[in-house]
Amino acid sequence: VMGADSAKGREEEARKLLRWGQQNFTTVQILHRGKKVGTERIWYGDKENIDLGTEQEFWMVLPKAEIPHIKAKYTLDGKELTAPISAHQRVGEIELYDRDKQVAHWPLVTLESVGEGGMFSRLSDYFHHKA
């Protein structure tokens, strides 16, 4: 762009560069605040499963050819989840990968609260959990 002979030439080169960027790159929303990214078993609660997600919004500008290579996975801080647990409580981490390279990470949180289950559900969970 800067090597063009005239202002008109620079303008044309800048226009070509912008067009190339629009044709080859796109903006992608990677994370949606409050959207479920997974469900996990929760022990001793008034529900069997709990939805997990993030409190973050995250956008990336990516080459269109790279989009299929972007993957997210999550890990829990502990081996399992036990009730009671409150909504928005951190329980792990979401990691974003471009092929095998980690490019970002965020807290994984519960999207809902789960109270302690009744006596029979806790007793049932105890026997299923220890089996």
Give the angle 29-30-36 at the CA atoms, nearest 5°: 110
Q: Under a CB-based contact definition with an 8 Å cutoff, are residues 28 and 65 in contact?
A: no
Mean pLDDT by 10 residues, the chain (131 residues): 73 89 93 95 94 95 93 95 96 95 96 92 81 63
pLDDT of residue 12: 85
Which CATH number fits the domain that encloses residue 94?
2.60.410.10
pLDDT of residue 3: 66
Q: Does a structural domain hold residue 98?
A: yes
Q: Does a structural domain hold residue 2?
A: no
Q: Does a structural domain hold residue 13?
A: no
Owning domain of residue 88:
25-130
